[in-house]
Amino acid sequence: MSTRTPSQSRPRPSSPLRTALITGASRGLGLGLARSLALEHGMKVALVARTRAPLEAAVAEIESAGGEALAIVADVADKRAIHAIVGQAAASLGDIDLLVNNASSLGPTPLRPLLDNECEDFGAVLETNLLGPFRLTKAVLGSMVLRGRGVVVQISSDAALEAYPEWGLYGSSKAALDHLTRIWAAELEDSAVGIFAVDPGEMNTRMHAEAIPEADPESLADPRQVARKIAAMIQAAQTGVLGKTRLVAGEWPEPAAQGQVA
């Protein structure tokens, strides 16, 4: 039997995104996204990270600026944590409309050639960068499809495309995540749910400093600015403007002034 679906226009989502689940959200791009989605787009946000103190500080910061935020201490690489993460978020915020798989691991630093990486290190990177996002997506996507509303965003990297020496574990995990996302997008073609991977570009974050300590922070993008662009992309994906392709944050136009993002 053919698996092709009858061609039809993409169903329009019924209403705006109201709730978000963001992993790796206590700093860098994840925190920037949580802040932008909560404060500029009025979404209720659940922030996931492994370490309690910085996570709670991030939530407190968003709340003191008038946003609604919630802290979930968990490791996305732990498969037993997945339904607990999604359940805690949905219990407090309601059905999850947006998932941002942002938490990532570089593997051992300083970065090293593939021959110097242990197999176990690769396994751990895949758990965080590929299987964790797969499990979390699987845990929220069905409800999104049934409700006819939702967006899933995978934070990727140009290391998924370019063969940078010493970036083997991270780069191959992100390449696999990109392809997983393309296949998911093809399977969601007749649904109202959007899924895309985005390359945020080089940002002034702790992860970047761990990977390339010698880089000049002045030459790197501010993760808060990149977050605002990705938040605008999410809105576009939700209203059907955006296809489900791989995107580069740097190529996206600057979002309109605060609060005016379509």
Partner 1 sequence: MSPATAPPGHRDEVRLLEVDPRRGSVFDHPFRDLPELLEPGDLLVVNDAATLPASLRGELERGGPRSPVELRLLGPAEGSRWRAVLFGSGDWQLDTDLRPPPPRVEIGDAIELRGGLVARIDGRPGPGDRLVELSFDREGPELWAGLYAAGRPVQYSHLREALELWSVQTVFAGRPWAVEMPSAGRPLTWSLIRRLRRRGVELARLTHAAGLSATGEPELDAALPLPERYSIPAATVAAIEASRARGGRIIAVGTTVVRALESAALEGGGRPRAGAGWAKLIITGERELELVDGLLTGMHDPSESHYRLLQAFAPARVLEAAWSAALEAGYRSHEFGDTALILPGRQPTPGWTTASRSRGAAGGETRPR
Q: Which amino acid is at 114?
A: L
Q: Does 83 bind partner 1 (CB under 8 A)?
A: yes
Binding mask 133-152 for partner 1 (x = CB under 8 A): ------x--xx-xxxx----
Q: Does 17 bind partner 1 (CB under 8 A)?
A: no
* Rounded Cα–Cα distance for residues 131 and 78 (Å): 9
Candidates 36, 88, 101, 173; binder of partner 1 (CB under 8 A) is: 88
Q: Which amino acid is at 76?
A: V
Binders of partner 1 among 95-124, rule CB under 8 A?
95-96
Residue closer to partner 1, measured from CB, 5 or 51: 5
* Rounded Cα–Cα distance for residues 131 and 94 (Å): 25
Q: Which of 170, 188, 205, 208 is catalytic?
A: 170
Residue 164 catalytic? no
Segment lying near partner 1 (by CB under 8 A), choices 91-99, 160-168, 204-212, 230-238 = 91-99
**Residue 158 CB, nearest approach to partner 1 (Å):** 32
* Rounded Cα–Cα distance for residues 72 and 197 (Å): 23
3-state secondary structure (DSSP) of residue 11: coil
Q: Does 220 bind partner 1 (CB under 8 A)?
A: no
Q: Does 245 bind partner 1 (CB under 8 A)?
A: no
Return residues touching partner 1 (CB under 8 A): 5-6, 14, 70-73, 80, 82-84, 86-88, 90-92, 94-96, 139, 142-143, 145-148
Residues involved in catalysis: 170
